[in-house]
Amino acid sequence: MGLSQKEIDIIYHLAEKLTGSSHKGNYKKEAIIGNVKKRIVALKKKSLQEYLQIVSRDPIEHKNFLSALTNHTTSWFRESPHFEVLYKYIKDNKTKFANKPVRIWSVACSTGQEPYSLALFLENIKHELGLTDYKIYASDIDQKSVEASMQAHYPTEELVAIPSQFHQWLELSHNKINSCFSITMQIKKHCKFFVHNLFLKFPYKNEQPFDILVCRNVLIYFEPNVVQQVMKTLCSNILDDGLLILGHSEALTKKNDHLVSLGHACYKYSSSAIHNAEYKISKEIKKTALIIDDSATIRLALTKILVSAGMNVVECADAESASVKIRLHQFDIIILDLNLPGENGSSWLKRSRSIGLKTPVVIVSDSSPKEAENIFGILECGAQDFMTKKQLSEKPDKFSEVVKSITEDKNVILFTKSLLRTFFFDDFKPEVILIGASTGGPGALAQLLERFPLPCPPVIVIQHINSDYAKALSRRLSDVSGLMQIDNLNSPLLPNSIYIAQGDYHLEIVRRGNSLHIRTNEDAKQSGHRPCIDKLFLSAAKAQASSISILLTGMGEDGAAGMLELANSKKSYTMVQDELSSVVFGMPRSAIERKAVSFIGDIKTLRDEVIKRVRESK
């Protein structure tokens, strides 16, 4: 179901009011919108307003709604340097802890993996360091997460993230649906879970401040003034010389006398100067890439490029290891080699997509033009872009640009009708369909043109692609669409045919008498491209061609200026792919910002609209 911008703003406002999290920043805002949509659909409600009425009356649905507004990212033993700091802190204070329990508060514990990781770690070192006991308080604002923590049942796929020395405190179990593991009572008895809002006082009045306070990846969701409030609350619950552990992306950037850095976003606390304290954290959340390649040399080269682009990098050499890492961690992009030992990259990607993998994938692999049709099949099945390893070595900056564009946070902007041009369909008979695409284009083109209904006007496609692969793309789109592939690109345009630039040249339309012709030229590159989408669009406007013009996913601005000329000619119905379905929204966004667009939609919506307009013109 769709939500208006006003409804989305209402959800953001409620998220901020109920959880304190800000809707301004780089965190994945679309996640909570998706969560709320699922609840509306599950209850078969027709609108957000109708759903919120249920939330206000039903305590159970109120709990579900709060859970939908909450970030649930967590994992076992994450941020391993924190455990090194924790071990040293306890060892340095073992005399104290020989006579009193180690007391820890795990804030925003989600479904329990973090506090149980701490408990397993402490149980393992208890005898080595002579600890008398330990007690872990774990809280979360989401009641459903707290209930899951108390049950402590986890899928067996998560076992690989728990080092084997801790398995003695885990219990395997099976049911009719799946297998899982749970935490033994020997560990659970040390953990106390409760629902708590960080903006409220600690609920147990008789409890003393804690030796250790863990609050990871929470502050990044708050505005600076809220960070001040939360940090003061946290510090008021730590003993002198206690340990504060924040997330790696939340390191304090402003020096505070009462917090001494121990490295890795860990701090030793002292109550001095508390009233003059000012807290400022780094909110720059680095994207994380997973590299899957069996060549250590290629992994090193890719890592250097990605780290230079400001990303964190995780590496693995085969598909099996990749599957394990993906189950346990969230990645923003995957860089995939096709020629892997064991299961090859193509098979792994298709299988992973079939079971729900949503992460964008860029293929970087050795592949000859002879294998190009296989590459396009993979792009249609779930990869966002392809680059050969030769191209990587020749144009590392191009690879970096592609990755940055693909991983850029989507703003989920809903463009209002005021930004769209009105197109009058009186006597509209399109002579030609013009399509421009770049990054993510091959897959989008295949979906748009698949088994395209006949009869239809001639279709001309400009796809930014290496010329070695252009002929294979032309054959592929002809096969997918059922349209006749025309290789003579200096000829009259024919209906039910597809024309694609197959080399390093531009395509243009010219009018000769009453008919349109296509021609090539080798003019200089425009905006760094040859073939250039603007070149085609501008020629169609000059020829006064009645057209449907479409800009699909792609970096940069190519096609936007030409689309504006087409729109101004009043003879072209101008369409662009929407942001959520675009791999990169650069070209469509640029056309929208120029007010050159009459219709916006995802691929299915665009396809339906094109077919409708073609049929109406007969």
What residues are labeled active site?
A: 438, 464, 558
User: Which whole-number Å values give the CA distances from 521 to 259, 260, 444, 511, in the listed order?
Assistant: 66, 66, 27, 16
Q: How many Cβ atoms sit within 10 Å of the Cβ of residue 419?
A: 12
3-class DSSP state of 290: strand
- Report the phi/psi class of residue 342: left, alpha or beta, with left for phi > 0 and alpha for psi in -120 to 50: left
Q: Give the per-residue SS3 of 326-381.
A: HHHCCCCEEEECCCCCCCCHHHHHHHHHHCCCCCCEEEEECCCHHHHHHHHHHHHH
Rg (CA), the chain: 29
Rounded to whole angstroms, the Cα distance separating 370 from 347 reads: 19
Among the listed residues 365, 319, 316, the one whose alpha carbon sits nearest the alpha carbon of residue 342: 319
Q: What angle do CA 571, 575, 579 make, to 5 degrees?
A: 160
Q: What angle do CA 309, 310, 314 make, to 5 degrees?
A: 100
Among the listed residues 601, 585, 414, 410, the one whose alpha carbon sits nearest the alpha carbon of residue 9: 414
Contacts 24+ apart (CB under 8 A), 32-41: 32/68, 32/69, 33/3, 33/8, 33/412, 35/67, 35/68, 35/69, 36/11, 36/65, 36/68, 36/69, 37/1, 37/3, 38/68, 39/64, 39/65, 39/68, 40/1, 41/1
Which position has the token pair 């531009």? 506
3-class DSSP state of 590: helix
Rounded to whole angstroms, the Cα distance separating 12 from 10 reads: 5
- Between helix 29-42 and helix 48-57 the angle, nearest 10°, is 80
Among the listed residues 393, 341, 343, the one whose alpha carbon sits nearest the alpha carbon of residue 364: 393
Which position has the token pair 């250097």? 304
